[in-house]
Amino acid sequence: MKGEHLTQFLIHEQRKSPAATGEFTLLLSDVATACKAIAHAVNRGALAGHLGVAGSENVQGEVQKKLDVISNDLFIRSLEWTGHLAGMASEENDQVIPIPSGYPRGKYLICFDPLDGSSNIDVNISVGTIFSILRAPDGVTQPSEQDFLQPGTQQVAAGFCVYGPSTVMVLTTGSGVNGFTLDRDVGEFILTHPNLRIPADTAEFAINMSNRRYWEEPVRRYVDECVQGKDGVREKNFNMRWVASMVAEVYRILTRGGIFLYPFDTRDPSKGGRLRLMYEANPMSFIVEQAGGLASTGRERIMEIQPHSIHQRVPVILGSKNEVERVVSYHG
């Protein structure tokens, strides 16, 4: 019900399943608490000395911003002690993150990107947190990387928090998608965007045009047709957007439609793509599909990919159903 806070919403959802123990509800509440802490750190920015680089690189070989490190630490510290997780995996950590000894173990695993789009921090553009929740294999209390390597279809929940003009959490547990806005006066996420749905048609695309020379022909053909507008075979004008923050791109698509493309390119074919399957592509694909959209690499459904590494990269094409289907057909 619009206007209820996140805890109320989760409890109402929990009551629909007689076998529910409440552990999953508490885990999602803990994730929300972590996102509130990160939102506060992001909002403080230069006032707290949080801007600029940290002088280190993550496992991806990317220079870390100070807020990358701060957000990663806040997320881990918010969840490691709660007893709901068997293990964690972060985009910022080389190996899976064990639950410290002395804390109870739960039956869930979480993969997360603590601060997506962090290249935008210093110019005050929206960034966010992305997370994916999986079940730990039965009896596993010290999960290895192999235990995390489940296809996206096995996710039990996924979500992201976008830290923009307002802080909004978008969440799916497999029964649609809902958006919650943080009311800072009471410290609660309030349901403001129930049952988000992505229109099947759109006239808006998001891609980094500076990479055009590296794209495969199907993507080049699709984007060229959009750019040609009414004068081309599509016979309608398109607008282009590019924020370089996946949470901002996907949130826009959820609220007004569109297609987002970070396709395979030839700059470094060994990487297989730009975005991370476990931390970005799978959770965003789950959300987009639950909202009526599609998510593909161009050649296969993202959520059906069998992961081979927690840091695996894949091409991503997601958003309005009819546009994604068109791009996939060009690959075919």
Residue list, annotated binding site? 91, 113, 115-119, 208, 280
Give the CA distances from residue 44 to residues 32, 70, 127, in Å, rounded to whole numbers and listed in that order: 18, 12, 14
What residue has token string 């609660």? 188
DSSP 11-61: HHHHTT-TT--SHHHHHHHHHHHHHHHHHHHHHHGGGGT--SEEEEE-TTS
Give the helix/strand (H/E) hosting 312. none
Annotated binding site for Mg(2+): 91, 113, 115-116, 280
Give the CA distances from residue 6 to residues 141, 182, 189, 226, in Å, rounded to whole numbers and listed in that order: 29, 10, 5, 39
Contact call for residues 87 and 98 (beta carbons, < 8 A): yes
Contact call for residues 231 and 175 (beta carbons, < 8 A): no
DSSP 119-159: GGGGGT--EEEEEEEEEPPTT-SS--HHHH---GGG-SEEE
Return the number of other C-beta atoms located less than 10 Å from residue 154's C-beta.
12
Q: How far is the C-alpha of 37 from the C-alpha of 120, rounded, in Å? A: 19
Annotated binding site for substrate: 116-119, 208
